[in-house]
Structure 1
Amino acid sequence: MTHVVAEPCFNCKYTDCVVVCPVECFKEGESMLFIHPEECIDCEACVPECPPQAIFHEDNLPAQWADYLKLNAEMSEQCPPITEKKEPLGPPIG
C-alpha cells in the first residue's frame, strides 16, 4: 500500500510534507511532488502537513484522480528525491 499525491498539488507544490517523511519517499517533479510507492511505509505523517490536501492513501484516492496512482509510480522513478522544504509554486488550488 502507498500514499498518492494527486491533482491539488499541481502547480502548487508545497513541500511541508517532505520534511516529516521518515523514509524520504517524495520525489520532485517540475510541477508537483510524487510519492515512490515502494518506499512509502504508510505512516501518514505527510497527510496533515499538506496545505492543499493533495495526499491520499491509495484506497481513499478519489475516483477522478485514480490515474495519479500510476503517475506517482512512473514519475517517482524519473524524478530526484526531495527532503528539504522549498518555496511553493503557488497557493493551494480550491
Structure 2
Amino acid sequence: MQDSHRASDKLHYICQTYTEKKTNPQGQGVLEIGKQFQYTSAFEAEGRAEREFRSKLCVGADAYMVSEDPETGEVSTPTFLARLGHVPEFEAF
C-alpha cells in the first residue's frame, strides 16, 4: 500500500513500548514489544509514548501512524511521530 492517504483510509495512531530481555550473563539483550495502545489522534499517541518512557517501565517507546484500507485490510508503512530511548531500527519494524 502506498504511503499516501486516501479519504476512505482509516488512520491508526499507536504508542508502542519496548522492554529489554537479557539473553546472556554479560547483560546483552534483545528488544521486545512491551505494550501497545491505540488512539484517535497523533497528540494522544505522542503523549502516551512520552509518559511511558518517563515511567522507566520500558527502555523505549514509539508513537506512529498507519493508514488502513478498509476494503483490502492493507496497512501502510508506519510514519513515526516520536521515537524515544532504545527502539528498533526502522528496517526491523
TM over 0.5: no
Specify which structure has the higher proportion of strand.
2
TM-score, normalization by structure 1: 0.31
Whose relative contact order is higher, 1 or 2, with alpha carbons under 8 Å and at least 6 apart? 1
Q: Which has the larger radius of gyration?
A: 2
Specify which structure has the higher proportion of helix.
1
